[in-house]
Copies of this chain bind each other. A is one copy, B any other.
Amino acid sequence: MFKKRDNIKEVEEGKYLEPKFNENGLIPVITTDFKTGDILMHGYMNDEALKKTIETKEAHYWSRSRKSIWRKGQISGFQQIVKKIKIDDDQDAVWLSVDIGNGASCHVGYRSCFYRSIPLGKIKNTEELEIKFEEKMKIFDPKKVYKDEPNPTKL
What is A's interface to B at a CB cutoff of 8 Å?
1-8, 11-13, 15-17, 20, 28, 30, 32, 37-39, 41-42, 51, 54-55, 57, 82, 84-90, 92-93, 95, 106-108, 110, 113-123, 126-131, 134, 151-155
Contact = CB atoms under 8 A, between A and B. Distances in A.
6 contacts: A3-B126, A20-B155, A42-B93, A42-B95, A51-B126, A87-B114
A118 to B, nearest CB: 4
Contacts of A93: 42, 113
B153 A89 contact: yes
Given A82-B120, A114-B95, A118-B54, A16 B131 contact: yes
A42 B31 CA distance: 12
Given A28-B42, A123-B55, A154 B16 contact: no
A151 B153 CA distance: 36
Contacts of A153: 8, 11-12, 89-90
Contacts of A82: 120
B54 A30 contact: no
Contact of A89 (B4, B38, B115, B134): B115
A118 B85 contact: yes
Contact of A28 (B16, B28, B110, B126): B28
